[in-house]
Amino acid sequence: MSLNNIPIQRKLMTIILLTAGVVMVITCASFFAYRLLTFRQSAIRQLNVQGEIIAANSTASLAFENQTDAQEVLAALRAERHIVAACLYDKGGRLFSRYPADRPPIAFPPAPGADGFRFERSHLIGYQPIVQGANSRLGTLYLESDMGEMYELLRLYTVVALLVMIVSLCVAYTLSRVLQKQISQPILALADTAKAISNLQDYSVRAPRLGNDELGLLTDAFNQMLTRIQDQNREAQQSAEEIKQLNADLERRVAERTIQLEMTNKEIEAFSYSVSHDLRAPLRSIDGFSQALLEDYSDRLDDVGHMHLRRVRAATQRMGQLIDDMLNLSRITRAEMKHQMVDLSKLASGIAADLKQSDPNRKVDFVIADGVEACGDASLLKIVLENLLGNAWKFTSKHEEARIEFGMRDEDGEPVYFVRDDGAGFDQQYADKLFAAFQRLHAITEFAGTGIGLATVARIIHRHNGRVWAEGAVESGATFSFTL
């Protein structure tokens, strides 16, 4: 199991016990290594001393070649149970005497080796020179000792080390159970407080401070954070109540305004109906009686009378057209919109065909871009194109040849639709007046119209959340651009 997934109390105890265990293992291993090294050195010294004693006692035996005495000298090694073999070589290197006597000669080295003691495999062996006087060497003593003593000491040390480790770990476990509470209790108190807050959503709960150390500072910081959260929640609740009240007031106001708008729309509809019927009736009467005078009393009227009556009829008809345009503008403002993809190129081509048919003798070149589409209300966008293309047709009527273009261009990633002509144009300083109702930049005797068309265009474009603007110059044509 990972330490990250166990409780903090067990985690602290595990860390303490692991640390203590590792330290004791390293200590015992270091002690064993030291004892092994010192034992090896001590064993060599001890065997060297024994070799010197045996060698000194063997000089007479080798000098007089007395194997019986030599055998008795070697037999004294019975007191050293760890010496497993010994032998004497004469000065010619031949085996002279051996211990134990029943050990076969082939079990001993055939000839003496280099003087000194050393470890070979699991035994300590050595060759001790036997000399008489200063330079007279009589032979060599061979000693072989097993490592039983060292193994016994190692077993004893191992038992002692295990007992010490067990006792130490028990003491460490007992101390860790007591001491880890100094660290775990403040943390557990914080955890319990956080859990209670999470479950109850009660930020008035506070964690108890159990000390003046870093955990105490952490507890203070945690409690201060809870205080700030509690204050923020209180402010948020107050804000929510205020927003709720504001929303209620807003809904009430919206409902009131909706009722007012409905009443206003009804009044506008009533006014439109009144305009449509009450104003048209006297105009029809004026136009009708004027026509009757021209037809029935033409022989009694002179040319001036005929001219005045024709002017009366023209004025009434113009007034009727103004009424129609005003009603259309009012309906466009209130009409429900249905958004869909609209093929503007197809609409423009149809309008251009109708304009050509209205006056086949005019030489006008229509350039309609293919594949121009937009999302909007099809009927309202048709009215936009009818007004813009109709204006272009009207204001190019003074030119023998004309060009009218419809297309789309890209400006900063936004599609811009335009209608361009090479007709009469206008003075650019008056461009801001073009889209106001009844505003005209040309005399009515020069170009017919009521001044409502571009105002209608502007309202439709604004209902599509777009922009419309115009650029032109006198007798250099005009370009009307809009976005949706």
- The full set of domain ranges for the chain reads 3-176, 202-334, 337-482
- On the question of pLDDT at 282 being above 60, the answer is yes
C-alpha gyration radius of the chain: 61
- In a 13 Å sphere around the CA of 220, the CA atoms on its Cβ side amount to 7
Residue range 337-482, CATH number: 3.30.565.10
Residue 71 burial (C-beta neighbours within 10 Å; 0-12, 13-18, 19+): middle
User: Token pair for residue 153?
Assistant: 């000491």
Instruction: Provide the token pair at 6.
Output: 């166990």
Query: Do 3-176 and 337-482 share a fold?
Result: no
Q: pTM of the predicted model, to two decimals?
A: 0.43
Check whether domain 3-176 has CATH 3.20.20.70, yes or no:
no
pLDDT of 243-264, one tens digit each? 988 998 898 888 888 787 777 6
- Which region, left, alpha or beta, applies to residue 438 given φ > 0 means left and ψ of -120 to 50 means alpha? left
Q: What integer pLDDT is reported at residue 85 of this predicted model?
A: 92
What percent of the chain clears pLDDT 70, i.e. is strictly above it? 87
Phi, psi of 65 (to 5 degrees): 55, 50
Q: How far is the C-alpha of 400 from the C-alpha of 73, rounded, in Å?
A: 152
pLDDT in tens, 197-212: 777 777 677 777 767 7
Question: Looking at 358-452, which runs of residues are DSSP E strands?
Answer: 363-368, 373-377, 401-411, 414-421
